[in-house]
Amino acid sequence: MPLLGNKKSVGKKLHEFIGSTDFVEKGTENVVFRTCKEEKNRVVFQIGTSDAVRALTAAQIVCNDVAAIDINMGCPKSFSISGGMGAALLAKPELIHDILTTLKRNLETPVTCKIRLLKSPQDTVELARRIEKTGVLALAVHGRQVVDRPRDPAKWSEIADIVAALSIPVIANGDVFEYDDFQRIKDATGASSLMVARGALWNASIFSPLGQLPWEDVKREYIRKSILWDNDIKSTKHTLKEMIMHYSCLELPEGKAVIKSESLADLA
């Protein structure tokens, strides 16, 4: 979140109505980050960065309100890579070391990071070992290379190579779309835990051992809670569009209505 790179541009305040802690862009009502005291020991704040000092400045703003600070070294999107962030860091081990050690030296809050696979399993293991030496608490690994597409199968075996090489916890990520996949990826990789992205975005009930609920029910509940907790309209629309694209079609009336919506009330 680039707005957090400047302490002067972000203010912290309590949202009295819903009881949240909001980090707001000064001079506006734009909420950059929202959390609450009940989530303090659960939320990990992820930063996209290409600069150690800027990363530290951002981390210091939120570190007392989150469980850990994570550095994103896996995002393959052009906006991230063009700024030297995300997966662009994978080719810059010295910069990775600088960012992580700077955070470790100056924060009491735990530091973690997330990477993608490199061109060869050996290269990925070598990078993971270098990251471990910085003192990070854990490492998340997405089981695809930057050039891979989401439809390409995640390489769980290469995550297993990293697990075997490290002593810190490794978080496995990739191709978890139903509850039973949780155990399958843990068995295949030996990872201490796992991360779910698209599967949870499409249907948050993936975490229920009783089985997933119909996506229409999840969608309605998501809209209800977004209104209740005054969720950011852009974030709400993004999640709804992902759900609709996966299960239906954005060209249908429902999808078009979400695209045109300008407020949470429009989605009700």
DSSP character for 208? -
Q: Is 75 a catalytic residue?
A: yes
DSSP character for 213? P
Q: What single letter denotes the amino acid at residue 181? A: D
Q: How far is CA 183 from the centre of its chain?
A: 21
The two tokens of residue 194 are 């796992």
Q: What single letter denotes the amino acid at residue 262? A: E
Burial class (CB in 10 A: 0-12, 13-18, 19+), 69: buried
Question: Which one is catalytic: 63, 75, 113, 249?
Answer: 75
Q: What single letter denotes the amino acid at residue 97? A: H
- Where are any strands of DSSP class E within 143-218? 170-173, 193-195
Question: Which residues are the active-site residues?
Answer: 75
